[in-house]
């Protein structure tokens, strides 16, 4: 059977115990900070903000892409308006505004 006797000196054992106590105290302090209610709330807030930022970023990219597609329908590559598409839309919008104005006048009378 192998001899398992410790060959360290008492001073070495005491130094090892002091080192382990310091590591343990540091670990316990870290655990205390992690489970503190303020830390938990702050972490939850940070996750929510991150998720909102991510969602808003995706929404911005989606809206920007949609607007670019719409713009491409009404403006050519040089930036000049495509009159064959702009004029019918303008006439339609003018008609809708006119109908709304007439409808609001009838309700007032």
66, 94: one domain: no
Range of the domain at 35: 9-74
- Residue 50: inside a domain: yes
Q: Tokens standing for 69?
A: 């597609």
Question: To which residue do tokens 């008609």 refer?
Answer: 95
Flag whether 104 is in a domain.
Answer: yes
pLDDT digits (tens, 9 = 90+) for 61-80: 999 999 999 999 899 888 89
Q: Based on the domain organization, do 55 and 95 belong to the same domain?
A: no
The C-alpha atoms of residue 67 and residue 76 are separated, in whole angstroms, by: 14
One domain for residues 29 and 50: yes
3 confidence band (pLDDT: 50, 70, 90) = low
Mean pLDDT value of segment 24-36: 94
Q: Which residues contact 76 (CB under 8 A, 6 or more apart)?
A: 82
Q: Examine residue 93 and state whether it is found in any structural domain, yes or no.
A: yes
* 26 — pLDDT class (breaks 50, 70, 90): very high
d(CA 35, CA 28): 11
Same domain, 16 and 68: yes
Domain co-membership, 39 together with 58: yes
70: its two tokens: 């719409």
Q: Which of the four pLDDT bands, split at 50, 70 and 90, describes residue 28?
A: very high
The two three-digit tokens of residue 19, written as one number: 């080192």
For the chain, what is the domain count?
Answer: 2
């Amino acid at each position: 059977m192998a001899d398992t006797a410790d060959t360290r000196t008492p001073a070495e054992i005491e130094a090892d115990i002091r080192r382990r106590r310091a590591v343990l105290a540091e670990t316990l302090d870290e655990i205390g900070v992690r489970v503190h209610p303020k830390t938990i709330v702050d972490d939850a807030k940070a996750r929510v903000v991150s998720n909102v930022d991510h969602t808003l970023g995706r929404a911005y990219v989606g809206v920007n892409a949609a607007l670019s597609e719409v713009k491409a329908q009404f403006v050519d590559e040089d930036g000049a308006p495509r009159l064959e598409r702009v004029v019918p839309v303008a006439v339609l919008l003018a008609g809708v505004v006119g109908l709304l104005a007439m409808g609001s006048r009838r309700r007032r009378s």
